[in-house]
Amino acid sequence: MKFLSVVGARPQFIKIAPMSRAIAEYNKDKKDKIEDIIVHTGQHYDSDMSDIFFDELKIPKPHFHLGVGSCGHGAQTGRMIEKIEELLLDVKPSIVIVYGDTNSTLAAALAAVKLHIPVIHIEAGLRSFNRAMPEEINRIVADHVSSLLLAPTPTAMENLKNENLITKSLNVGDIMRDAVIFNSNLAKNKSLVLRELLLRSKEYGLVTMHRAENTDDLIRLKDILNALNTIAEEGLRLIFPVHPRTKSVINKELNNWRPCKNFSLVDPVGYLDMMELVGNAKIAFTDSGGLQKEAFFLNCPCITLRDETEWVETVTSGGNIITGAKPEEIHKAFTQWSELMSHEIDFSKQVNSVFGEGKTAEKILDAIVEYIH
């Protein structure tokens, strides 16, 4: 069996690592070996994806790097389709595996289906119901052209049922759960970030913000920053590893805004350092879909600085509060969490019941092998 897995950004490499470990285990005692060919489109250039990144996280390096780079959505997707199609004609895989909702996911799914190669979509069925988000369009199209849809949650399965896709769908759990269990253990042994930033566990809040809906809207951005400043002034130290896009906007467009003494804007951190920061934070403020889940998995209360989320289970299970950008809503949510944080918080039962217990990669591999056979 020959798999071709297409990824384009650091979070997708983190998701592919548990699959690679599962395939290696499968190949130990099976006659029908799996050849897993990994393709990096180059959609995102990430300076943190050095040899150390792959070695520390035990992630296999890509066999092919297409070097597409950053450009407009149409141009980027078009270039990826062209290059992936050439590769598919040469490699002739049994299936193509795509992850999540990036332009790389969309391009690989379209290139494969036009060549009549079955597409397997991992993290199928997610919906924010906000079609202004490019990711939402990518998710919907990928789901509708895929041959096997591997959903991470019951809500995702319900979405697929509502779109008449249930007959080719399976709830396998969330592969990020596998990755967080593995990588948070690595982080405990390898990361020095708490020492470097002079932080003590559960005595700080973590901030991340990078989505265009916040960084490109100066009113929203300023409202969020002011709300966080107020929370920091009231006594909670906040650590904000600033995304380059966000930093550029703050420096150019909000040059009169200043963080208070207790609100520290720092350089971006690597993945293991981020795992350690999330796992030891008292609370997280974020607009990242991935970090919402990571916080939930690591028993860190979360406030999501968006108007909706595709990970609704983090909300319904009691680990996440959606506030948007309104300062009064952000502060209200923080007050609500403050009343609960006097007790030890443990989301593990809710996490296991919704996202699985960390065996998703094995379930995915079993489903793919059964589909091929």
- DSSP notation for 268-330: ---HHHHHHHHHH-SEEEE--HHHHHHHHHTT--EEE-SS--S-HHHHHTTSEEE-TT-HHHH
Cβ neighbours of residue 229 closer than 8 Å, sequence gap 6 or more: 259, 260, 263
Tell me: do 78 and 224 sit in the same domain: no
Tell me: do 339 and 360 sit in the same domain: no
Tell me: do 241 and 289 sit in the same domain: yes
Indicate the length of the chain as a whole number: 373
> Structural domain tally of the chain?
2
Helix, strand, or coil (residue 102): coil
Contact status, residue 142 vs residue 106, Cβ threshold 8 Å: yes
Q: How far apart are CA 80 and CA 230, in angstroms?
A: 44
Mark the ranges of the chain whose per-residue pLDDT is less than 70.
45-52
Distance separating the N- and C-terminal Cα atoms of the chain: 10
Tell me: do 228 and 338 sit in the same domain: yes
Q: What is the pLDDT of residue 47?
A: 57
Residue type, 161: K
Catalytic residue among 144, 210, 243, 331: 210
Best CA proximity match to 288, nearest among 252, 328, 245? 245
Tell me: do 165 and 24 sit in the same domain: yes
Contact status, residue 110 vs residue 27, Cβ threshold 8 Å: no
* Residue 37: strand pairing partners: 4
Q: What is the pLDDT of residue 49?
A: 58
Q: How far apart are CA 99 and CA 80, in angstroms?
A: 15
Tell me: do 189 and 168 sit in the same domain: no
Tell me: do 147 and 283 sit in the same domain: no
- Judge whether 40 counts as a catalytic residue: no
Q: What is the pLDDT of residue 343?
A: 76
Indicate which CATH number applies to the domain containing 10: 3.40.50.2000
Tell me: do 189 and 157 sit in the same domain: no
Contact status, residue 213 vs residue 259, Cβ threshold 8 Å: no
List C-alpha distances in Å: 166 to 9, 148, 185, 341: 28, 10, 36, 40
Tell me: do 160 and 191 sit in the same domain: no
Tell me: do 211 and 305 sit in the same domain: yes
List C-alpha distances in Å: 30 to 23, 26, 39: 10, 6, 24
Tell me: do 124 and 161 sit in the same domain: yes
Q: What is the pLDDT of residue 46?
A: 63
User: Residue 219: which domain range?
Assistant: 182-354
Structure tokens at 13: 């490499």
Q: How far apart are CA 189 and CA 273, in angstroms?
A: 11
Tell me: do 199 and 314 sit in the same domain: yes
